[in-house]
Amino acid sequence: MPYHAPVDDYAFLFDHVVGYAGLRATDRFAEATDDVTRAILTEAGKLTEEVLAPLQRAGDLHPARLENGVVRTSPGFAEGWAAIAEGGWVGMAADPEYGGMGLPMTLTSAVNEMMSSACLSLQLAPLMSQGQIEALEHHASDAIKALYLPKLTAGDWTGTMNLTEPQAGSDVGALSTKAENNGNGTFAVTGQKIYISWGDHDVAENVCHLVLARIPGAPAGTKGISLFLVPKFIPNADGTLGARNGVNVVSLEHKLGLHGSPTAVMQFDAATGWLVGSEEGGMAAMFTMMNNARLGVGGQGIGVAEAAYQHALAYALERKQGRSTLEAGTGTIMDHADVRRMLMTMKADIFAARAIALSCAMAIDMEHATSDTDWRARAAFLTPIAKAFGTDTGIAVAEMGVQVHGGMGFIEETGAAQFSRDVRVTAIYEGTNGVQAMDLVARKMMDGGDAAARLLDEIESCAEEARAALPDLAEPVWQATETLREVTEWMAAQQDMTTRFAGAVPYLRAFARVMGGYLHLKAALADQGGKREALARFYIKRLLPEHAGLLAQAQAGAEDLYALSADDLAA
């Protein structure tokens, strides 16, 4: 079935749920008016529906391939990339000084999500470039900015991030790639990186790699890591391409899904690179790109969830099977209670995950517009939640989409299985969801839980205001928030990090559940008696109660996790 961009849903969220009006009230984003925002959403919707969505199946059936050292992308991907680049979509949030639009990340996130729904394999390319653009804007020298940013923003060149090595996954400090000073302002970068999304391709003329490496003599671990910009072709001063650099593709990974996205093993052999940021400041610079990517990956999960939901809904509306229990039903499986349960769960969780992600993007934008440290803390706190809950939702919704299809969901020709295969990796890359949860209860609670407390105060205030209009929805949200507050205070008080980490994943999901209830409640207040109140009622009555069991797990401690020895587990 054809993909339909949910433009009206984004507009509703902007206007009634995430506070987009406050963003437009700032000097920085004053030009992101209602008319401009709606026009951009509409045009992005056309791009995704008409140009990108038709590439989804082609990317799966005709994967990227490596031929004689050259990566060939799936049919139509070059034209799809050209449409993205020519429309200015790569540089939506980029600095106008280098050709960007300077638009809010909130709006960029919505557009990126639509692209993910249409064709996730291709959307990975602009997402990687956007992250690199932001990292260079914040950390690169003026000379690097002037040479690289216009090309990256225009989509003439693309960007990647190179962190992982065979022995250094989440433990980035264990990397072995080295960078030796050439004495002329450049470094010779040598090493191998794996899992490099869009590490090479034929859709743009140059590929620019951000590479983590260690300068000889630097300290071990993450403290000694530096960041380098290593292009495939070394550019001349005027931006034209010069000599081929010492960068090559060893192989492309054979993956469960995302077949159209070339995921490369990259070899750097004394490749010429330029330092980005300070020596031994690589992690700080790379985290700029990674945090951008974590929000973007959360959006990828939501985007695939939307596409899988639309696919399942269309099937449910046409498939006739069994006897309907409804007198005036459709005569299709849409009448069956369990199919309705799945579809309502899919739709309600998509709304919650989307609203959380856009709330995170809003916090990022407000921090940039105001330099307010509270907004910065909120953005940091919401980032792991947006990433983990967004991708968990994508996986769960895609799996339910297969289930709605029944036996046909297991047949590749229907396309339902592709969503499940494609989205699965989103819970793994840019930091696994377990790592996100540990980050939430550790680094993000170094403030003693203050950022969390401010958010909980806001949720309770909304619930109290809603009691007059929607008491049966407001009360459970308020009560859930109080329970979450108690566990948050308990979590922040734990000195044993193993205890925190043992409960990290259920705690993050419980926080997402409660925040989802809050955002659904705001939607219900804005649409009383309408479809969004009905959806909120389903979420708050059926899905929000999960928070209680999750919070019980969060406080269970670590003892039972280690009760069995390795031999016991193997027996």
Q: Find, among 196, 118, 130, the residue nearest to 157 by Cα.
A: 130
Count of C-beta atoms within a 10 Å radius of residue 469? 12
Which residue in the list 306, 430, 460, 533 is annotated as catalytic?
Answer: 430
Beta strand segments in 200-260, E:
206-214, 225-231, 233-235, 241-244, 247-252
Residue 461, H or E segment: helix 450-466
Q: Which two tokens stand for residue 298?
A: 């959360």
Q: Could you tell me which residues come within 8 angstroms of residue 72 by beta carbon, excluding any fewer than 6 positions away?
A: 64, 65, 66, 202
- Give the CA distances from residue 23 to residues 99, 291, 527, in Å, rounded to whole numbers and listed in that order: 22, 21, 22
Strands 65-67 and 70-72: antiparallel
How far is residue 33's CA from residue 38's CA, in Å, rounded to a whole number? 8
- Give the CA distances from residue 277 to residues 135, 145, 287, 433, 478, in Å, rounded to whole numbers and listed in that order: 9, 12, 12, 28, 45
Give the DSSP per-residue string, 36-66.
HHHHHHHHHHHHIIIIIGGGHHHHHHS--EE
Residue that has been written with the tokens 């839980």 in this structure? 449
Active site residue 486: no
Q: Amino acid identity of 308?
A: A
To the nearest 10°, report the CA torsion of 93, 441, 351, 319: 120
Q: Which two tokens stand for residue 64?
A: 């990227």
Length of the chain: 571
Q: In 3-state terms, the chain is what percent helix, strand and coil (to 5)?
A: 60, 15, 25
Count of C-beta atoms within a 10 Å radius of residue 281? 16
DSSP 3-state assignment of 18?
coil
Q: Looking at the annotation, which residues are catalytic?
A: 430
